[in-house]
A = this chain, B = another copy of it.
Amino acid sequence: MINKLVEKMENLSAPIMVGLDPMLDFVPKHILEKAFSEKGENLEGVAEAIWQYNKGIVDAIYDLIPAVKPQIAMYEQFGIEGLQVFKKTVDYCKEKGLVVIGDIKRGDIGSTSAAYATGHLGKVTIGGKTYRGFDEDFATINPYLGSDGVIPFIDVCKEEKKGLFILVKTSNPSSGEFQDQLINGKPLYELVGEKVAQWGELHMGNSYSYIGAVVGATYPEMGRVLREIMPKTLILVPGYGAQGGKGEDLVPYFNKDGLGAIVNSSRGIIAAYKAKGYEKYGAEGYADASRQAVIDMREDLKQAWMAAKK
């Protein structure tokens, strides 16, 4: 799966993943009204609206990008009905040939991590038949509990040829509160980065490891250091666009092969129709606006990975 992801990034010249993180106020009115009239103005109606909204975006962009990253919290907020749409979205994106990163940020003690890994990446066997819970291709993981919370995920990934992105340095303003604390003169995120590189050796793909890292676009200097610490790690870079990261800042996240980083944009793509420069599409043309936003992002990022290649 890491090989598929890296190849698609190369072939499409698009180190891009789109965050399918639907907020209810992103969903255009015409979709919401249609869903309410069909399913009622209730949870089922909201779930249907989110599903139709997602489907419209995926249909408009799937040929341009290698991967999507649905953020499960945005579905979990609507309980079971929301999670059913998460599952439906994962399945649909995979049908469309997209690599699906479940942004789930799970992590617990060993036996519990094993259960999460089963539910999101693995399978259960009952009466000789196999069932898969959410069945993403990759999952994001929180490292705070250390190796024995991470290894059960890696074990399932090895069996399923799937992968992880482990939080190293997150994009949010207060990420430094703990992550930047110095340990023998070295920030915690570097220590975590070193561990990710070690864990990565347990499950290598052709050029990159199945075990990736999350490093926010908002901290390019830290990105530079982490790129060196984790040379064979694919870095998932959140925080581009709406959170403030720009293409030109992202050079340090890429390797000299022009690869090594995949940049996420969520609202910058899925709610592009509400953003400056995309007004002409209107709410009815929200999916076309998303397509144009992907094309614009691809151009913006081209500078970064081309510069890294030099």
Instruction: Verify A42–B142 contact, CB threshold 8 A.
Output: no
Instruction: Verify B142–A144 contact, CB threshold 8 A.
Output: yes
Instruction: Verify A126–B181 contact, CB threshold 8 A.
Output: no
Who on chain B is nearest to A180 by CB? B146
Quick one: given A126-B43, A127-B42, A178-B192, are A115 and B76 in contact (CB under 8 Å)?
yes
Q: Mark A152-192, 1 if CB is under 8 A from B, else 0.
A: 00000000000000010011111111110111100010011
Is the interface on chain A under 10, 10 to 19, 20 to 34, or 35 or more residues? 35 or more
Quick one: given A79-B132, A109-B171, are A115 and B146 in contact (CB under 8 Å)?
no
Q: Does A231 contact B (CB under 8 A)?
A: no
Provide the residues of chain B in CB contact with A118, threshold 8 Å: 77
This protein's copies in its complex: 2
Instruction: Verify B105–A146 contact, CB threshold 8 A.
Output: no
A127 to B172, CA, bound (A): 33
Q: Does A265 contact B (CB under 8 A)?
A: no
Provide the residues of chain B in CB contact with A45, threshold 8 Å: 126-127
Provide the residues of chain B in CB contact with A55, threshold 8 Å: none
Interface residues of A in 206-255 (CB under 8 A from B): none
Q: Mark A90-114, 1 if CB is under 8 A from B, else 0.
A: 0000000000000001111111110
Instruction: Verify B177–A133 contact, CB threshold 8 A.
Output: no
Q: Does A54 contact B (CB under 8 A)?
A: no
3 tightest CB-CB pairs across the interface, nearest first?
A79-B133, A146-B177, A41-B127
